[in-house]
Structure 1
């Protein structure tokens, strides 16, 4: 443990950037620049730095226009529906014919 880390270990254990105390936010007594210097010294000396904040997952959303990304999906869906079209038309005609027969009674 470097001397700076030993000196400020209690303060760094309170939180990465600060902490809540009695209902109010309290920043650390050590500046961000000094904290970064101590962190760098510790890591260069081969030590471990347990005070980093947990990282958020990386953003996986693609950039660009949605219409460009989904165009291929729409074309594939259209091909599937066109293959089913004769059966769909036959079913529709059958339903219409059955409805017409029930209305006559």
Structure 2
């Protein structure tokens, strides 16, 4: 007797899968809920979980994607982390060394500018002292 019930249940399940998982009806039914977020949403200061469980949501998403349709209810993915691993002091010292190399390339011109400024200041002081 239990074997007949199990066989009938298996036959009903097979018939349902033969026609396919009715994802279009499910998508239409939960369209408003799926647009509210992935796990839930805040409403009037209280957290509200979705009306569809995460397992059913994942199954529905899988069926839609397998059917070749677009699933637009996932939140946008953030950028990948660009922060490198390692000690900050090592990165900073490398940046300082690179900066020092750039400044040393400019050093002859900087020295000439400095000498010119000092000479101009000296000439101004001498003119001010003579008058």
1:76 pairs, out of 102, 112, 119, with 102
CA distance in 2, matches of 1:99, 1:59: 57
Alignment of 1:86-97 (within 5 A): 86-97=111-122
The CA deviation at 1:42 is 1.4
Distance 1:18 1:44 in 2: 25
Question: Residue 40 of structure 1: SS of its match in structure 2?
Answer: helix
Cα distance in 2 between the residues matched to 1:25 and 1:62: 35
| CA deviation map 1:18-68 (0-9, x unaligned) | 223233221212232332222122112211111011222334445552322
Which has the larger helix fraction? Answer: 2
TM-score normalised by L of structure 2: 0.59
2:92 corresponds, among 61, 66, 72, to: 66
Q: How many residues align?
A: 104
Which structure 1 segments of 5+ residues have no match? none
Q: Separation in 1 of the partners of 2:62 and 2:100?
A: 52
Please identify, of 85-94 and 35-44, the stretch whose mean Cα deviation from structure 2 is larger.
Answer: 85-94
1:16 aligns with 2:38: yes
Question: Quick check: 1:46 aligned with 2:71?
Answer: no
Instruction: State the Cα RMSD in Å.
Output: 2.7
1:56 aligns with 2:81: no
Distance 1:12 1:66 in 2: 46
SS at match of 1:57: coil
- Please, which runs of 5 or more residues in structure 2 have no aligned partner? 1-21
